[in-house]
Structure 1
């Protein structure tokens, strides 16, 4: 699992940051490219029988360029055009051992894109009158959120649901069990309460709701999962499945259950760069990390989906199938971020992205060990989800490519 579940907290500074497409992030063996492919699939309800998906040769060429040096073994992308047409792209190799192709629209770990699902579940409970955004955590989990040691200042009586959703709660940023990376814990199952208790021993990043202060927090979203579970009276995975996945017919999206360490087929393999004693990548060596227990991420990043299904989710959200207009507007009320690209703000589980073409898109990014994903939808209905099978390589080049894909006309 990635060290933060979303590397949007890392950004460039100086001249590099001002490059034309550097304003967009999501916050994502050394071999030659073994092949690439493009597949087109007409989406349900697309225009009419004469409407055909359009393959953008420029996007395909850029995708191939990203995997050319082999540090990103494979890439897959789904683009839903403004008129409803869907085109799926792939590049690179899906399995370094066999040299097989990347499966078109295969399953990937979407990591922190899960946060948008979590936020939607919470906002649906708001719409049902079961909680309010300015309720404190204490109301639903009395006595549970009390810090100790260095975390003594953390107090659920002072933290609201809204603050957790938009990362202004001051909850610790990371997940302490990840301090030594994924490999020592890849087969271990974690209860969310165990992860939360560990977070409560760490110092808060700031006082809850402190003016103009923001810090991305995975532990805050783990806590939201517990709140949703308590309010709904059902396991969090069931809440997300019933209230979102099944409701809008996402056939290729799921919340893996206890003990489920695999990805459904078809899927590319996910990779970590092997590192030396100093922590530097060893050229030519990659570790297959496709299989691990994602419970370490919980409501902050556990879900798995195909790129086209993520696009369907974002479109359903934008088109009012999951939230009433007033709640969607509330979700998109954003706050200023820190150490993120210029023009990026954070709402309630969703990122507001100012694109280089002048459009504002809404979406999220996610990094799980072995996979980095970026997804967003524009106001006129163009949706893009892109995934790569190494979460530590070419992050900013990917962000520039993501911007280009969202701004493209085809």
Structure 2
């Protein structure tokens, strides 16, 4: 069943100015909760809630190890797989213009790659293509097949040594296509960053412009998302921002290094964008209010496809989350190296929760339990009856 929107004007940008944020004082329960999340192992967190009571934003923990300053409430964060929602929206805008057809084989647009002719554009956005994930696959029997060096798993030190290396999108796709597909196209669901690198190349092919140009023209500028960046291969992150750290073993000694700066091209359009909690809230609310897509394509985007993850199905670039009390939320969270961003909205865009977390990461992802618990506590408190366990896939 699709989630329909009501009273929408097609392709009309009408984002209202958000009310002034209230920091901490009038919703002490939210401030207490994020302080308790920090006590569970997260270095710092910023939370932003927009609902019928207005807007609240607060932060807890520290922006930098050894410091005392809290994370900035207007800070930038690497948003990981939230990038996919932006990219899927852009593809669907091109569908609305007749430049792309959802059920056309992707190889027709990208003949330079040896894609299975049964893989459609819809399958890329829905993660039903079966294409190997270039950041690595974990199979049902526990077998792990690595792709590019990533900070999670046995290649951790290699990632540290090469964290400023540039990978080109074509290189990542070719690596993925050199590995066996996970399943026949359309016969399963498996989260693959490769799907969204292909979506990026598709956008660039049909528009003749870079992803950066199209994202700016179609989404970022119209919504006034001045804090959102498509970094491509730049290692920089705009100020202000909290810091991210990575812990690993080197010659038998444990090292903890600042990894706030690194080249994000290793995850490319699967999870490289930078944003703020304010911009993420504006974006997900505008999307769900029908300000970026015609109603029929918004319905397509939010039509849930089974994933095998309890209470979480996938549409086209968004998770459709069902809470324990039967409420529906539209979401896409994402984590990258020692940073994460949460993005939740009611289907009408009237209530949003966005958050940025920074922490000390490691190859064993030892922060994962704290991250899952933080997700669930935040959704429970803001939407009531939330249930987001297990966590959404990470980059």
Same fold (TM over 0.5): yes
Distance of 2:110 and 2:127 partners within structure 1 = 19
Specify the alignment match of 1:17 in structure 2. Answer: none
Question: Partner residue of 1:316?
Answer: 286
Q: Which of 296, 299, 309 is the equivalent residue of 1:329?
A: 299
Distance in 2 separating the partners of 1:163 and 1:82: 37
- Correspondence 1:249 to 2:224: yes
Once the 2 structures are TM-superposed, how far is the Cα of residue 95 of structure 1 from its aligned partner? 0.6
Q: Cα distance 1:387–1:357, how it changes in 2: closer, same or farther (>3 A)?
A: farther
- Which residue does the alignment assign to 2:93? 124
Change (3 A) 1:82 1:357: farther
In 2 relative to 1, CA 92–286 (structure 1 residues): closer, same or farther, beyond 3 Å? farther
Gaps of 5+ in 2: 1-15, 136-146, 386-395
Cα drift, residue 308 of structure 1 = 1.2
Q: For 1:111, what is the secondary structure of its paired residue?
A: coil
What are the within-5 Å matches in structure 2 for residues 4-403 of structure 1? 44=17, 46=19, 55-69=26-40, 71-82=41-52, 85-142=54-111, 144-146=112-114, 155-175=115-135, 176-179=147-150, 180-181=155-156, 182-210=159-187, 213-258=188-233, 260-275=234-249, 286-338=256-308, 340=309, 342-380=310-348, 381-390=350-359, 392=365, 393=367, 394-403=370-379
Q: Helix, strand or coil for the counterpart of 1:79?
A: strand
After TM superposition, the score normalised by the length of structure 2 is 0.82
* Separation of aligned partners in 2, 1:220 and 1:406: 32
Per-residue Cα deviation, 1:233-258 (whole angstroms, up to 9, x for no partner): 10112111111111211111111144
CA distance in 2, matches of 1:405, 1:266: 28
Per-residue Cα deviation, 1:56-80 (whole angstroms, up to 9, x for no partner): 22222121111115x3211111111
Measured against aligned partners, the alpha-carbon deviations of 1:338-388 in whole angstroms (never above 9, x if no partner) come to 2x2x21100000000112343211010111102022111013511011121
Q: Is the CA contact (8 Å cut-off) linking 1:357 and 1:407 kept in structure 2?
A: no
After TM superposition, what 4+ stretches of structure 1 lie above 6 angstroms from structure 2? 51-54
Take 2:381 and 2:216, find their aligned partners in 1: how far apart are those partners? 29
The two structures, once aligned, show a CA RMSD in angstroms of 2.3
Question: 2:144 matched to which residue of 1?
Answer: none
Deviation at 1:52, TM superposition (A): 6.5
TM-score (norm 1): 0.79
Q: CA deviation at 1:334?
A: 1.5
Q: Distance in 1 between matches of 2:247 and 2:378?
A: 23
Equivalent residue pairs, number: 344
Give, in whole Å, the separation in 2 of the partners of 1:157 and 1:289.
40
